[in-house]
């Protein structure tokens, strides 16, 4: 499945309205924020149809998945939007992650827990907000909002140290760029290590760089740490490959069209995370050029002054030079 979908779930009392644009969407929040009500409404609508008194408006079938036989049902479901809640403990399992990865469905998971087996985006973690759009006594309007805003992760000063999530081409770029600017740079060797490496660094001005497309499961701890340590800031682009594509270094009208509306091009069954797609796209679009890209080892042409500045320019709010 690919594309952006507008969903309305409503009865005479309640109305939920929101958009989803990736295969993995997380809804978080404390009790009494309407999460369980949304799941129950969808469950009733799917089970009872019009007799439920609940209307679900969407281009795709929206349904829930519950019960101990979920792993037999899931492989039979195709091209649908599946809603799951934290009462379905299987969403935390490796088995669920493996089956979801092979499927062509979208998943909306309502949970207060982190899900390290799933590569969900920092941009697709939402809370539910109750607004006053409907003032009568019959209906309350609920909409979703992003929990983590990009403005909270900007850094307007040159860092003393940089911690990069991985150890591939992106790390090589930031390490060598940092050396030229007198900035120490180290790899966390994986997103699960990022918070601990940041804590051990113990500097007054630190910048962490990670792939926003798959860092979602680490964001709760990372965000809490940032709130206690304002000297730590994060830059969370989709991926290092996305930065290069965004820089305009790779010619091609199709690249810019994709970046403007990636959900229209990324097939979820082929690319469980958008970072994998952007890596594929950059590799294909740069093939047989002087900027031919390899994720495992940085092409040194990206370190030439013109190319380096074009990449750094994309990182709005981040100072290196």
Q: Which pLDDT score, from 0 to 100, does residue 90 have? A: 93
| CA dihedral sign, ordered 221, 23, 96, 32 | positive
Domain boundaries, the chain: 5-147, 151-314
Q: Which pLDDT score, from 0 to 100, does residue 203 have? A: 80
Q: What are phi and psi of 266, to 5 degrees?
A: -90, 110
Cα 108 to the chain's mean position, in Å?
13
- N-term to C-term CA, the chain: 42
Q: Which pLDDT score, from 0 to 100, does residue 154 have? A: 57
∠25-222-129 over CA atoms, to 5°?
45
Q: What are the tens digits of pLDDT across the range 33-68?
A: 677 889 999 999 998 988 899 999 999 999 999 888
Cβ within 8 Å of residue 309, ≥6 positions away: none
Q: Which pLDDT score, from 0 to 100, does residue 150 have? A: 57
| Regions of the chain where pLDDT drops below 70 | 29-33, 131-144, 146, 149-156, 317, 321
d(Cα 208, Cα 198) in Å, to the nearest integer?
8
pTM summary value:
0.90
Q: Which pLDDT score, from 0 to 100, does residue 155 have? A: 56
Contact present, 1 and 267 (Cβ < 8 Å): yes
3-state percent breakdown (helix, strand, coil) of the chain, nearest 5: 40, 20, 40
Q: Residue 211: CA atoms inside 13 Å, Cβ hemisphere, count?
A: 28
Q: What are the tens digits of pLDDT across the range 225-270?
A: 888 888 888 889 999 999 999 999 998 778 989 999 999 999 999 9
User: Considering only CA atoms, which of 293, 297, 28, 7 is closest in space to residue 145?
Assistant: 28
d(Cα 16, Cα 10) in Å, to the nearest integer?
6
């Amino acid at each position: 499945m690919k594309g952006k979908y507008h969903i309305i779930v409503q009865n005479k009392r309640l109305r939920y309205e929101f958009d989803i644009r990736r295969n993995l969407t997380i809804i978080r929040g404390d009790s009494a924020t309407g999460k369980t009500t949304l799941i129950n409404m969808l469950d009733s609508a799917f089970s009872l149809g019009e007799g439920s008194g609940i209307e679900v408006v969407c281009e795709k079938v929206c349904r829930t998945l519950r019960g101990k036989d979920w792993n037999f049902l899931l492989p039979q479901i195709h091209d649908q939007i599946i809603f799951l809640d934290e009462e379905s403990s299987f969403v935390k399992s490796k088995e669920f992650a493996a089956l979801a990865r092979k499927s062509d469905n979208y998943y909306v998971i309502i949970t207060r827990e982190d899900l390290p087996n799933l590569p969900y985006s920092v941009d697709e973690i939402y809370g539910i907000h109750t607004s006053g759009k409907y003032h009568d006594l019959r209906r309350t309007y609920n909409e979703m909002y992003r929990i983590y805003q990009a403005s909270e992760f900007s850094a307007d000063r040159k860092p003393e140290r940089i911690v990069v999530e991985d150890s591939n081409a992106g790390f090589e770029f930031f390490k060598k760029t940092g050396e030229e600017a007198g900035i120490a740079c180290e790899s966390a060797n994986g997103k699960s290590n990022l918070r601990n490496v940041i804590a051990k660094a113990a500097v007054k001005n630190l910048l962490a760089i990670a792939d926003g497309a798959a860092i979602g499961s680490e964001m709760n701890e990372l965000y809490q740490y940032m709130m206690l340590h304002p000297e730590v800031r994060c830059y969370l682009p989709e991926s290092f490959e996305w930065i290069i594509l965004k820089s305009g270094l790779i010619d091609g009208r199709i690249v810019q069209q994709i970046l403007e509306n990636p959900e229209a091009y990324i097939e979820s069954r082929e690319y469980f995370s958008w970072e994998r797609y952007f890596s594929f796209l950059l590799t294909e679009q740069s093939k047989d050029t002087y900027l031919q890209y390899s994720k495992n080892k940085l092409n040194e042409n990206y370190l030439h002054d013109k190319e380096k500045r074009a990449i750094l320019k994309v990182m709005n709010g981040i100072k290196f030079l």
